[in-house]
Copies of this chain bind each other. A is one copy, B any other.
Amino acid sequence: MGDIRLIEVKEEIFSDNIKLAAEVRERLRKTKTMLLNLMSSPGSGKTSLILRTVEGLKGSLRLGVIEADIDSTVDAEKVAARGIPAIQLRTGGFCHLDATMVTQGIDAMAVNELDLVIIENVGNLVCPAEFDTGAHKNVMILSVPEGDDKPLKYPLMFSICDLLLVNKIDYLSLSDFDMAALRKRVLALNPRITILEASCKTGAGIEGWIDWLKGEVAAFKGLE
């Protein structure tokens, strides 16, 4: 297998995807629906953060969720059980979501009735960073047990995100995680990123996340 052949294929896929992602963004701008792409490693807390967000936005913003899962529906079931419109995309072995899959998701939702749609991407710090989903905002979670060296190893993901939420800060007491070193590494890659610290388990820091979300949606809708 030649590297060059594979790279050509990737470029063709990328250019088709970039066009479609721009269409998704424009379509949702018209309905004033902000699309947010949530990414992380497996088990960092994407679903837990979405469940906290459902709770935190209750009565203020109308939320929908698109769940990507390779083979199961466990996450969509948890969200739907809270009365939130949830679409499950089975990626069938794909390691990321692209704009085609997201289009299928929003086609299946009444997006004009929603203020915010959160996409839970496949748990993976590599491939999702390469594929524009059409989201207006990219958010990633890094959990404390993963370690403070991850920006050195997965730099693209940290570079393309608007916000990094450092989750599982309740594990800090058992860990040698160096928050100052992490911040320095992340900001070296992406000086404009917002960094928040939280624990989806205890609820610490979740208010800051909800405030950020409300501010971003308001700005997106042009209300402020």
Q: A residues near B, CB below 8 A?
A: 1, 3, 6, 9, 13, 16-17, 20, 41-44, 69-72, 74, 93-95, 98, 100, 122-127, 130, 143-147, 149-150, 152-156, 168, 170-171, 174
Contacts and interface: CB of A to CB of B under 8 A. Distances in A.
A101 to B, nearest CB: 9
Contacts of A100: 1, 3
Nearest to A152: B72
A12 to B, nearest CB: 8
Contacts of A98: 1
A126 B122 CA distance: 9
> How many copies are assembled?
2
A6 B13 CA distance: 8
Contact of A154 (B44, B70, B147): B70
**Which of A1, A16, A70, A93 has the most B CB atoms < 10 Å from its CB?**
A1
A43 B42 CA distance: 10
Contacts of A17: 1
Contacts of A71: 152-153, 155
14 contacts: A1-B17, A1-B20, A42-B150, A42-B154, A43-B146, A70-B154, A71-B152, A74-B152, A74-B153, A95-B95, A124-B126, A124-B127, A143-B145, A170-B174
